[in-house]
Structure 1
Amino acid sequence: MTETQRRDPMSSPENRRIRDLVYATFAAEGRAPSIGELARVTGADTETVKRLLSELHGAHALVLNVERDAVRMAHPFTAAPMAFVLTPLDGRDDRRWWGGCAWDSFGISAAINLDVRIDTACPQCGRSLSLVAGPDTAPQGELAVRFPRPAAEWWEDVVATCTMIRLFCSRDHAEQWTAEHAPGTGYVADAGTVWDLAQAWYGDRLDPAFEPHSREHNQALLEERGLSGEFWRLP
């Protein structure tokens, strides 16, 4: 998801350290650090950590839960079970991650620079889907990804948006699901296109020198992959 052009939270060393600790914990352990853990590691009090997290949430650098007392998402990572499970192909690596959506699942492998197995199910037929993806490994087959709402609306309820960016067996199944459950809405893209987008969108998310992408940068990433028009116009 795109960061908004509000005050850049990464301009503050305190915000930046909290943000980087959240991402590092997700990458290393597949979970979000607690407020107490962040306070202990940074030496800050819990109220300061809550304030910094709230600022990062407001800038769309991460997503807090409804109660605002825990990290819910730090795209492409999610702290709660959703529709995707990611497992490293290397059997000696016992990490696991929840993927918030099809796009974010590809994004996790891009961010951590690792080939993974992604397990999910087709919403239309219920068939289990297990695929391999990585920085240099595109998904194979006729898989398709359905985006539920236009880009301008993603952040109105970002968790709900992610929940519905699902992977389907085929474009036909995605279109059948749409006709039955949400006629006239959404956009269906080839999984390979979404995988390619994820590499550029999320591949630098864990870089020490990461800077939030500008709206113009992200809009160009979409258009370069044929994702253009009003549906894909970022706010």
Structure 2
Amino acid sequence: MNTPDSRRVRDLVYETLASEGRAPSVAELARRTRSTTEATQKILHELAEAHALVLTADGDAVRMAHPFTAAPMAFVVTPLDGHDDRRWWGGCAWDSFGISAALDLDVRIDTACPQCGTPIAYQAGPRLPPPAELAVRFPRPAGEWWDDVVATCTMIRTFCDRGHAERWTADNAPGGGYIAEAATVWRLAGPWYGDRLDPGFQPHSREHNQRLLDECGLTGPFWRLP
């Protein structure tokens, strides 16, 4: 996002995901910015290097632009307003709250508990916290999130309650991960993602994001950002 061209490409990716629930293609971005596909592809790779978005494994399309994802994942996010027919894939429990925060929109979130397979549907919004009993499990420490960010997001899941999250962890990843209340993750998503669609958005500094984690009580080595 160091040049007007990269800023325009970044903003078009976010605008399209927010309004249509899909990522624009490289050709579409090139057309809309009156550029070439080669130059646009170069900008996308630069944005990915800066963690401003995530490309597919082949590097030829946008995979994620947090909190949005262009591919089906474990969460479906829909507006509570019955006149708004948009819908989005949530990359994880945290990103699902982030979509609500970025759009300043009350939403319904649909997923399933990894432990028991029970469908879970809950409401959340900028001022509407999720049900108190829900728990969210983070699979790896903050310092490792971007080692494979898609895999990280895939495993940040919502469970029926803490007991289910603890049993899943004991069976599948003993001694690993971190279980938080869903309301804590919701509280983090607001300031983390709430400005993502702002015209003047600037990437948060590491220090800023670390402070957001601390303010939500997410402290200690697990939550230390790289």
TM-based fold match above 0.5: yes
| Structure-2 residue corresponding to 1:170 | 161
Listed as ranges, the matches of 1:82-161 within 5 Å are 82-161=73-152
Which whole-Å CA distance do the structure 1 matches of 2:143 and 2:131 have between them? 30
Q: Gaps (5+ residues) in structure 2?
A: none
Deviation at 1:91, TM superposition (A): 1.2
> Hey, what's the Cα distance between the residues in 1 that align with 2:82 and 2:162?
32
Is residue 132–residue 183 contact of structure 2 (8 Å, CA) maintained in 1?
A: no
Deviations 1:100-153 (A, max 9, x none): 000000000000110010000000011110000111110013000000000000
Distance 1:158 1:204 in 2: 21
- In the superposition, the TM-score normalised over structure 1's length comes to 0.96
Structure 1 Cα separation of the partners of residues 182 and 161 of structure 2: 9
SS in 2 for 1:104: helix
TM-score normalised according to structure 2 size:
0.99
Q: Residues 32-51 of structure 1: matches in 2 within 5 Å? A: 32-51=23-42
In the alignment, is residue 52 of structure 1 matched against residue 31 of structure 2?
Answer: no
Asked whether the equivalents of residues 129 and 186 of structure 2 are also in contact (C-alpha less than 8 Å), the reply is yes
Structure 1 segments unaligned to the other structure (5+ residues) = 1-9
Map of 1:233 onto structure 2:
224
Q: Indicate whether 1:70 and 2:61 are aligned.
A: yes
* Distance in 2 between residues matched to 1:218 and 1:53, nearest whole Å: 24
What count of residue pairs does the alignment treat as equivalent? Answer: 226
> Which structure ranks higher in relative contact order (CA pairs < 8 Å, sequence separation ≥ 6)?
1
The CA RMSD measured in Å over matched residues stands at 0.5
Displacement of 1:90: 1.0
**Partner of residue 61, structure 1:** 52
Aligned residues of 2:112 and 2:159 also touching (Cα < 8 A): yes
Q: Supply the distance in 2 between the matched residues of 1:73 and 1:83 (Cα, whole angstroms).
A: 14
